Amino acid sequence: MIVDREPGHDALARAAELLRRAVRRRQPVAALTGAGISAESGVPTFRGSGGLWHGFRPEELATPAAFARDPQRVWEWYHWRRGLVLAAEPNPGHRALAVLEERLQDAFTLITQNVDGLHQRAGSRRVVELHGNLLEARCTRCGRVEPLAPEASGIPNCPACGAMQRPNVVWFGEPLPGAAWARARQAAATASVFLVIGTSAVVYPAAGLVEVAAAAGAGVIEINPEETPVSDLADSVLRQPAGEALPALLREAGIVPG
């Protein structure tokens, strides 16, 4: 196995070879994206200076207990976050993944830890949202999920049963949605190429998908300016932001014109 962990043409060429072969043979390809790809669109990350948690304690805002204690405060924070997301635009990394899906159709699965909907706005349709969607609300009684209007404020109520709604996201201490996790794990276990993009790879169980893919024999391509705990599992590492690396990878692989 040839492993390229340094930036430069060799790493890009190796990654392009893996992707080009998969596309030519119409073999399954999956991608896992994290906060880094959306940070390039101006969406704050959870970690580091200026992250979404800066100045807040997660247990005050993103747990079932916090919502039960003060749903108004929690909703205010999520409306603020939603405003940040709605002001952002998909970047070239998001759009490159939409192009890859268009080329591979049902042989491509996009798994995201992000809750901002930017992949869908870029044109992706086969998106598995592991942590939910910030632009939706879920009924606390009947479980019905509804999109939130851009101008929504206060505590919304379910149009079906009238009960209070909550943000349709996975909070600390909650399990991942069962159907989404099953789809994600299946995609990782059957992928011939697995792209790991802009994720710190420290949040489990999502980070474990890289291990699943590598163990099943997938060619793993990591795209991240920083080293992560899964870097050693990668066949090729591109130390660039997704907005630069993904368009370059598609060009090198001949998926889009060079």
Residue 79 annotated among the catalytic residues of the structure? no
Largest interatomic CA distance in the chain: 58
Backbone angles phi, psi at 110, to 5 degrees: -105, 115
CB 240 within 8 A of CB 225: yes
Q: In whole angstroms, what is the distance from residue 234 CA to residue 253 CA? A: 18
Q: Based on the number of CB atoms within 10 Å of its own CB, is 225 exposed (0-12), middle (13-18) or buried (19 or more)? A: middle
Task: List residues bridging with 157 in a β-sheet.
Answer: 164
CB 228 within 8 A of CB 200: yes
Q: In whole angstroms, what is the distance from residue 221 CA to residue 233 CA? A: 9
What CA–CA distances, in Å, run from 52 to 29, 56, 61, 168, 191? 31, 8, 11, 18, 32
CB crowding 145-180: b at 16 or more within 10 Å, else e:
eeebeeebeeebebeeeeeebbbbbbbeeeebbeeb
Which residues have a catalytic role annotated?
131
